[in-house]
Structure 1
Amino acid sequence: MKEEESIMENNWKGIKEAPVSTCQEVLGRKKHNHKEWISKETLDRIEERKNENTAISNSRTRTEKVKEHAEYTEANKQVKKSIRADK
């Protein structure tokens, strides 16, 4: 009984792997070329945005905070725009 099962399993394994191995021999394996989707310029803008955010935290007066927040908002818009362009 076990011999029959092992023979059947071996046969099934051969049947199952035959199309896959044939396709790999004929077509070859698919090569994935993933490009870097985020550019160096965008990474620089993200770093600039982080610096603007720390500047908000380090501001002492309300007027400085408002000014720094406006600069951060502009930097954030630039980052989002650059990321959309990179995609």
Structure 2
Amino acid sequence: MEDNWKGIKEALTSTCQEVLSRKKHRHKEWISIETLYRIQERTNKKATINNFPTRAEKVKTQVEYTSK
């Protein structure tokens, strides 16, 4: 009796796994590598704006910063 039950249980579980298997999802990345690169580029531009000692130089680079 015990052997029959094990055989039935194995057959049932293997059939269910084949028929009702979980769907395999490929999740997209939340932020792409290109977006991270653009964020870093913009951060660097902002840092250069803040490092300029004169207002004229800041305005000149800020135009470039805001144009993109």
Q: When the two structures are superposed, what TM-score results if normalisation uses the length of structure 1?
A: 0.48
SS of corresponding position for 2:46:
helix
SS of corresponding position for 2:50:
helix
User: Matches of 2:36 and 2:60 in 1, distance apart?
Assistant: 24
Q: Cα deviation per residue 1:3-24 (whole Å; 9 max; x = unaligned)?
A: xxxxxxxxxxxxxxxxxx8xx6
Give the alignment partner of residue 54 of structure 2, picking from 41, 61, 82. 61
1:27-42 aligned at under 5 Å gives the runs 27-42=20-35
Q: 4+ runs of 1 displaced by more than 3 Å?
A: none
Structure 2: gaps of 5 or more residues: 1-12
Aligned-residue CA RMSD (Å): 2.2
Q: By how many angstroms is 1:31 displaced?
A: 1.4
Determine which structure has greater relative contact order: mean sequence separation of CA pairs < 8 Å that are 6+ residues apart, divided by chain length.
1
Structure with the bigger percentage of helix: 1
User: Matches of 2:32 and 2:60 in 1, distance apart?
Assistant: 28
The letter of the residue matching 2:40 is E
The letter of the residue matching 1:60 is P
User: Matches of 2:59 and 2:34 in 1, distance apart?
Assistant: 27
